[in-house]
A and B are shown apart, each in its own frame.
Chain A
Amino acid sequence: MADAQQVSLTIEGRTVSVPAGTSILEAAKVAGVLIPHYCYHPGLPVAGVCRMCLVEVEKAPKLAPACATAAAEGQVVHLYSDPALDARKAVLEFLLLNHPLDCPICDQAGECELQDYVYREGRAQGRSHEPKRFNPAEDFGGDVLYVTNRCILCTRCVRFMQDVANDPVLNVSERGDRAVIGKFEGKDLTHPWAANVIDLCPVGALVSKDFLNKSRAWELDRTPSVCPNCTQGCNTILETRDNVVVRMRPRTNTDVNHYYLCDEGRMDYRWMNRTDRIEAPLVRHGDRLVVSGWDDALRAAALHLNGKRAFVLASPMLSNESLWMLSRLAKRSGGGGGFRVRLGTEAPLAGVPDLVRRAERAANVRAAELFGFARSDTPLAGMKDGDVLIVADHEMAAADASAIAKASAVIVIGTTMPELVTNAIIALPSTNVAEEDGTFTNLRGRVQQYRQARSAPGMSRPVWWSVGDLLTFLGERAGYYLASEAFAALAAQHPEFAGMTYDSLGLKGQALAGAVAGVAGGASA
């Protein structure tokens, strides 16, 4: 090779060039070859213990662990030679030796790497006639249940807690085939990122108590999304069963959250399934809000807004598209807008730079500010007497009550009726993050897409859609059929978003022009 930093090798007949120091296992990924493995994980230090990734390297005296062997110039690697196949078959037989084979009641079944590889490369029948070892399951605390008998001792969980979380609360206890993953009595898996061990576990040994027995893996629909619960913008997969969100898991994005998602974020999904929703446009008739059609409700709203200043209380959980559209509504009337952010404790994941559960517990604070909404603990302070108050899925606090009274009228656009708002004249149903396509901008200015995971209840629509139609009723053409069209229009007007489209964002996102060169995905674009 001309480039001294690159080495070229052949894996299963495919020649690839990789940076010197790359493992054979990672080089194989470049070649499009998956070398089966359990203990190896790209986010963790190499352990080399499961021995599943043994491959035949020509001229080497014995099989080499692909995870722990550096790719070298001219290497010829075989994954499907007889010695390599035999070695994997043997590892699988050893791993099943004391495994309870309880796939029918195991949550991991269907997404279990032990099940998958045994099915693909294992023996049809084991040869063991010996009784199996038995250990009781153990509650590790947090969301984690340890089903000891399923454990293959890959130590991913131990290494995560030790080397990524820097909180070694898990250990390998005992030796030989008595070994188990252990913890210290009274020291639970309470680290704010501990539940990642569930995702890291390649088998059904570490399972989520929250998800326990909820669904079979193959009954789930999986949708790429972004965690809405803080400004970090961790990439996620929303998993739904029968239109109900049942689990939120991390989706790999090494620019933002690597392979991880914090416990609080992942557990905070139930609100996406709330049933006390505004399901149809409502218009006030006397002392009651009465169900109406979209056009009637929008027309009524336009009548109220005509010639009046609009003050928009916009949730920082709304999408870029929705916040932009709301900002247009405020601007055209000469009005304003604001928002409040719920705060919580920060929780960094020590081993990953700039990966923190942020204090701001809403996904789109950066965009809300970008589009002119003022962040404040008393966001209604900027409202003037006689303004039409638009509450866009924003949480209300007791302190807001007196300010609400100053509004000439209150229009609600939201998923549920906000507390303290008793006199809304119109309520427009909107979708939540699970029910729409959209984008968020994280604290480092990374714009990331999320996709619709469940159907929208009743007649609800994304906020950008209803507000766009409202603007049209007010004489400002803003009707879009798709979130991507709304986003394209946004990008055309805001130089920070210049050139971005849903296609260019893809599933990993792009940084705003001029975004701070932060590590959490700010500067990679």
Chain B
Amino acid sequence: MKVHEVGGGRPGGDTSHAEHESGTYKPVFVGSAKQELDELLTRYPSKMAALLPALWIVQHERGWVSDDAMAEVAQLLELTPAYVKGVVTFYTMYHQHPVGKYFIQVCTTSPCGACGAERVVDALLKHTRCGELGATSADGRYTVIEVECLGACGFATPVMVNEEFIESVTPERVPQILSQYL
């Protein structure tokens, strides 16, 4: 079983290497995304407080949070890109690299582990043809990762596919579940 490395060095290799979007960067915060951010800013007494929501908007719009997007958010919220990056790397749900069309998160923390989460992971890796955790399948469709407690321990094994939360997944259910995400 391979899970996130403890002490295995920097995840994703050298983070000093910039992750840019391909081509010329187009700002996220135009039109409705900008309106959404402006509305969010009214909720908090500081601009900085809108950082997590702003990053969520980025990820919703682009599928991941590139260095360019971090710089854009930093400028809008009067922060530095380095500050934003420090925050992004703290929270595991922001993708710092592009991921598959369907991002699949499987809880493997102890309670789910006791109920067979590892077999669910194996089945997902097999049927998505991702091969290994964190890798995106050749067709660009799936990325499977193990995550810590999803807070649905009584519904082992919970699996998230993008924003959808699927309870009580068993290895046997995996092919049927994946058939809904093509």
Q: Do chains A and B touch in the complex (CB under 8 A)?
A: yes
Whether B85 pairs with A184 at a CB distance below 8 angstroms is yes
Q: Which residue among A130, A174, A177 has the maximum number of chain B CB atoms within 10 Å of its CB?
A: A174
Whether B15 pairs with A168 at a CB distance below 8 angstroms is no
Residue of A nearest to B18 (CB): A185
Whether B83 pairs with A173 at a CB distance below 8 angstroms is no
Stretch at the interface among A23-31, A112-120, A131-139, A465-473: A131-139
- Chain A: number of interface residues, binned into ranges: 20 to 34
A285 beta carbon closer than 8 Å to chain B: no
The residues in B between 91 and 116 inclusive whose CB is less than 8 angstroms from any CB of A are none
A183 beta carbon closer than 8 Å to chain B: yes
CB distance from B46 to the nearest CB of A (A): 15
Complexed CA–CA distance, A172 and B70 (Å): 15
Interface string of A180-202 (1 = CB under 8 A from B): 10111111000000000000000
Residue of B nearest to A130 (CB): B7
Whether B86 pairs with A173 at a CB distance below 8 angstroms is yes
Complexed CA–CA distance, A133 and B81 (Å): 27
The residues in A between 147 and 189 inclusive whose CB is less than 8 angstroms from any CB of B are 162, 167-178, 180, 182-187
B175 beta carbon closer than 8 Å to chain A: no
The contact sample of 27 A-B pairs, CB cut-off 8 A, is: A130-B7, A132-B7, A133-B8, A133-B9, A135-B9, A168-B82, A168-B83, A169-B82, A170-B82, A171-B83, A171-B85, A171-B87, A171-B89, A174-B89, A175-B90, A177-B6, A178-B8, A178-B9, A178-B10, A178-B11, A180-B15, A182-B82, A182-B85, A183-B82, A185-B17, A185-B18, A187-B81
B67 beta carbon closer than 8 Å to chain A: yes
Knowing A173-B85, A173-B89, A175-B90, the reply to whether A182 touches B7 (Cβ < 8 A) is no
B35 beta carbon closer than 8 Å to chain A: no
B176 beta carbon closer than 8 Å to chain A: no
B24 beta carbon closer than 8 Å to chain A: no
Whether B7 pairs with A168 at a CB distance below 8 angstroms is no
Whether B82 pairs with A136 at a CB distance below 8 angstroms is no
Residue of A nearest to B20 (CB): A185
B172 beta carbon closer than 8 Å to chain A: no
Knowing A133-B7, A177-B7, the reply to whether A168 touches B89 (Cβ < 8 A) is no
Knowing A173-B86, A173-B89, A176-B6, the reply to whether A182 touches B16 (Cβ < 8 A) is yes
Which among A130, A133, A171, A177 is the interface contact of B82 at CB below 8 angstroms? A171
Whether B7 pairs with A98 at a CB distance below 8 angstroms is yes
B139 beta carbon closer than 8 Å to chain A: no
Cβ–Cβ < 8 Å partners of A168 in chain B:
79-80, 82-83
B14 beta carbon closer than 8 Å to chain A: yes
Interface string of A101-119 (1 = CB under 8 A from B): 0000000000000000000
Complexed CA–CA distance, A130 and B27 (Å): 45
Whether B16 pairs with A185 at a CB distance below 8 angstroms is yes
Complexed CA–CA distance, A131 and B15 (Å): 22
Whether A182 pairs with B89 at a CB distance below 8 angstroms is yes
11 new A-B contacts at CB < 8 Å, known A178-B10, A184-B67: A130-B7, A162-B83, A173-B85, A182-B82, A182-B85, A182-B89, A183-B82, A184-B71, A184-B85, A186-B18, A187-B80
CB distance from A490 to the nearest CB of B (A): 49
Whether A174 pairs with B70 at a CB distance below 8 angstroms is no
Complexed CA–CA distance, A138 and B80 (Å): 20
Complexed CA–CA distance, A174 and B5 (Å): 12
